[in-house]
Amino acid sequence: MTDEQSAESGTDESEEVKVPPPPDFELFDPKTGMVGLIPFFETGRPVCSLPLEPDRKNLMLVSQVAVNQAADDARFDKFVTSGLGLLRVGGGTGLFTADTDDPDWVLAHKLLMPAFSSQAIKGYHEAMCDPASQLMLKWARLNPGESVDVTADFTRLTFETIGLVGFGHRFAAFYSQEPHPFVIGMGDVLHWAIKNANNPEASPEDPPPEIREAVDFLNETVDSVIRERQANPRESAGQDLLDYMLSASDPKTGESLSVENIRQQINTFLIAGHETTSGLLSFVVFYLMNNPDVLQRCYEEVDRELGSDLDTLPTADEISSLRYVMQVLKETLRLWPGAPFIIRRSREDIEVLDEYPVTPEDCLHISLASLHRDQAIWGDDPNEFDPDRFTPESEAELPENAYLPFGIGQRACIGRQFSIAEAQLALGMLLQRFEFVDYENYDLQIRRGLTIKPKNFRIKVLPRKGREAAVLHSSGNSSEPATREVKREPTTTPVPPNGKKLMVLFGSNLGTSENLAREISADAARSGFDVDMAPLDDRVADLDREAALVVVTSSYNGQPPDNAVDFCKWLHDLEPDALDGLHYAVFGCGDRNWSSTFQAIPRRINAELAEHGAEEFSSLGAGDASDDFDGQFRKWYAQMWPNLYRAVGLDPDSIQETSGRLELEVGIPLRHRFFATLEAKPATLVSSEELQGRSRDGTPDRSTRLIQLELPEGETYETGDHLAVLPYNTPEALSRALTYFEASPETIVSLHADGPSETSLPLDQPHTLGTLLNYYSELQRPATRAQIAILSSYATAPRDRRRLESMIGDDEDAQAAYREFILNQRRSVIDLLEENPSCRPPDEVLLDLLGELKPRFYSIASSPLAHPSRVALMVGVLESPSFSGHGTYRGTCSTFLSRLPIGQKVHVSVRSPGMPFRPPADFNKPMIMIATGAGLAPFRGFLQERAADAQHAAIAESMLFFGCRNSGADFLIGDDLERYDADGVVDLVMAYSDEPGFRRKFVQDRIRDKADKVWDLMERGANVYVCGHAGRVAPAARKVFEDIYAHKTGASKTDAERWLQDLRDNDRYLEDIWAGN
């Protein structure tokens, strides 16, 4: 305001401008916290006062116009107020709690930005699939009518994801009904900080003893993770966040993060990294259930992009293709951003909107709930849920800083892309499998904490129609990495030098631009160009005028990347015609969520090159990391090449495709990804015993073996754990597969990737072809649609091509053909090659197409109390006529284990079960165990543990109901079971379906026979454990227990179902079941 304006208005600049509070603000209940403020700011005023603290001015910025001014990082900054400041008790100077000018924040933010780039996030996809699959498994195994605590399960998912993806640490969040102690400790700290936000006596340096104890526990947990990684650095698993923090250093100063600061960053990521995403997913489910038209569009998109093949986990590219699902996520964040307020302060005395004076001591609250409901931006119905607000066209029209779910400017959430990728993956997989049932007619309630989430939100889930068996079967493969779609690329011969030069210069903080520059350079070199690739700063005043120039660069809050600062300054100061004759093209990397600085540096370089005389040979390209970045780059790239050829005087028709293929060179110790992802180690086979007897006609028609393995030194397990085993392929399967390769199995080959490749095969290492197929390749799993699509492209006979293409479409006929011909008959890629003789892909394509050999999982059939370092497995050896008619089918892992010689090594990893399926810690608590066939495995361990307990104390009475055909054929470990029965460890109750002289009975019949004793044990607090077939044993056992309860109490069927559900909710009725083929 000028002096003249002040005089004319009759105001005195020394007078304080009075900003009124919202109407009816005296009704605000402080107990509701910041969430309770939201309704008071739907007033239409751009700024309101917030009379919360007598010693500080608090203003609420409500409109987009006011927020847009406060978003200017040059004049405003994040304000770490008392509540957030108290979190420094655990987060220290982490990215979330530090001041912007804190050297720790400056260094950490700079070093960790590459860990959250779009390319880095894509690299985390496989690890993200692991916890997501655990959630799918948990929901798939729910009993009919069992409900889900939505927010609790999504909290487990996101906490497990940040632990595994960020730090390679499994918190086993899905394996317990109770939250992990780390989560409890975090919750205690968060509750204390929020409760004392306005308490001047509270201090992060001097918290109460119980908070100090919680923080000490958090710190010790994280310190142990850091120590473990320092002592045992990962060899070849790729970088996670912890790797970045331990290895990154400032390229100019050499400065790196201290161990203390790394700990603070981990605490920050664990807190902030799971809270916001779990809330987002919970709100999304609420809105989908209340908007069936939106839900249907999501189902349609998921079915179109991901398909119905649940045996194959989605790839990162497939998940990023879920555009409408992304719109749903964005609209959910508009209505309920995880943190509903952003707190800012001015860097100097200033007037907001030229009307409201503020100082650096004043607190400016940005109400995202009000901003995101500003009718000037969002229309007359801002409270309505409408994902079409975020179509590309609508989103492009949004004013700057109208949508800020992840914060503002340089202090915006560094993990935004991580959170969105995680949410998009989880939601896509859930929509593939489940229907959501709002059985309570839930009305949205808000739970406040560090973030906001739905409160008391429970739903039921059902497998989608037609996918009931597939949901349970596929969800069990929780550690399987995603299968990629491999595209056919033409094989080319080397191109001789063309006499032309190309400079490829990049500006990159995160690595994305540099990697694109490497791809361009590699393709150009293969096309005959003399290539010079370098950071922009390395070519200041040194541009080769005889070369064409391609620039790939990003922006950093509107500023040049670190290795482009000098170049940008030099370019700006050049004379007008200094670059006459230079031909150039620019591609920019950015993120439209930072709309005010999106593509700022690429646009600036593109414009200033032209201003100084250079000639643009291909138009400016722009990649948006929050959208289909790769697709945007590929579109620009396809246009850039012919334009480049024309600019340098070459014929565009001479361009040969060169990128993205594997090359096979015909002419080490094996290092499978399983070793790193599951921390597998070699165990030694010490015994292998056949458990099956002969059938009544005297022939051994089945085989079940008791396999005992000695674990490596230092490896431990608990009763009830699972064992992941990495097998080799059978000689029969290997021999059959080799017939479709031109090279012999002894041929030494080395695989190279020309350009980016996500292959799971070992690159740039010499192996025999037989080794690659035997140890790395999946030879017998049913073919995926993506694999069939690639095979069809190599079929030369029209009949073969039509047959293959008939199974890969989206129409009902194609889906039915795929289900019947592939899934039901379990046809593999090798089967399809045999049936379609004109289909002969090159060796390198077929190798990549087969996919990665994956570990198999078994229940451990022993207890460490019997032998601490030895595990037993009960392995049903699968050998039967193939469903597809191709000879005999032999199970990959069961055959491998059954043929393994004594003393042989096998790589294994101990895994906790996906539920508390363990014997009670209190050996005075009875057990009722129910099993058929190899489902007996975990109970062998249970009984070993109880027998050991019985050596020093009285144990509770327990029962084992075991079903088999007859005592002569498959009374597995019969001698052991009868001994345990005689010793009083368990009351053994057999159910024979084919025993001479006995009436045919199943386990449910024998439970009914023993109803009085079963009920007595239940009254005494017994736990029930069921292990067997999901379609037969599990429902039959549930029904008989409900019948017993109804008979004993006179309860109705509904009450009996509710009783059993209560047992499940309290971990007293547990199932470890599987789906049959």
To the query of whether residue 406 is one of the catalytic residues in this protein, the response is yes
Strands of 261-384 (E only): list them: 341-346, 350-352, 356-358, 363-367
Contact call for residues 994 and 896 (beta carbons, < 8 A): no
Q: Rounded to the nearest 5°, which phi and psi values hold at 390?
A: -120, 30
DSSP letter for 925, please.
S
Residue 546: CA atoms inside 13 Å, Cβ hemisphere, count?
Answer: 7
Q: Do residues 40 and 25 touch, judged by C-beta distance below 8 A?
A: yes
Looking only at the bridges linking them, the beta strands covering 959-964 and 987-992 are parallel
- Selected catalytic residue, list 93, 155, 161, 276: 276
Neighbouring residues of 327: CB distance < 8 A, sequence distance ≥ 6:
387, 388, 389, 390, 391
Three-state DSSP state, 772: helix
**How far is the C-alpha of 555 from the C-alpha of 599, rounded, in Å?**
6
893 counts as catalytic: no
Local structure of 533: helix, strand or coil: strand
Please state, in angstroms and rounded to a whole number, the distance separating the CA atoms of residues 1057 and 1042. Answer: 6
Beta strands in 661-793, from DSSP E residues, in sequence order: 661-666, 681-690, 703-710, 722-725, 748-754, 766-768
Residues found in the chain? 1077
What whole-number distance in Å separates Cα of residue 388 and Cα of residue 335?
14
Cβ–Cβ under 8 Å, residues 723 and 685: no
Half-sphere exposure of 372 (CA within 13 A, CB side): 29
Residues 6+ apart with CB under 8 A from 54: none
How far is Cα 481 from Cα 724, in angstroms, rounded to an integer? Answer: 14
Degrees (nearest 5) of the Cα angle 1001, 1004, 1010? 90
569-573 contact pairs (CB < 8 A, 24+): 570/540, 570/541, 571/605, 571/608, 571/609, 571/612, 572/608
**One-letter amino acid of 959:** M
E strand or H helix that includes residue 584: strand 583-590
Give Cβ neighbours of residue 27 (< 8 Å, ≥ 6 apart).
Answer: none
State the Cα–Cα distance between residues 426 and 351, nearest whole angstrom.
45
Is 28 an annotated catalytic residue? Answer: no
Pairing of strands 905-911, 987-992: unpaired
SS (H, E, C) 993-1013: CCCCCCCCCCHHHHHHHCHHH
Buried b (16+ CB within 10 A) or exposed e, 431-456: bbbbbbeeeeebeeebebebbbbbee
| 3-class DSSP state of 839 | strand
Q: Which two tokens stand for residue 452?
A: 């906001």
Q: Which of 48, 413, 839, 1027 is catalytic?
A: 413
Q: Which is catalytic among the residues 96, 385, 406, 674?
A: 406
Q: Which residues contact 323 (CB under 8 A, 6 or more apart)?
A: 301, 628
Burial of residue 120, with CB atoms counted within 10 A of its CB: 0-12 exposed, 13-18 middle, 19 or more buried? buried
Q: How far is CA 661 from the centre of its chain?
A: 27
Three-state secondary structure string covering 366-415? EEHHHHCCCHHHHCCCCCCCCHHHHCHHHHHCCCCCCCCCCCCHHHCCCC
Catalytic residue ranges: 276, 406, 413
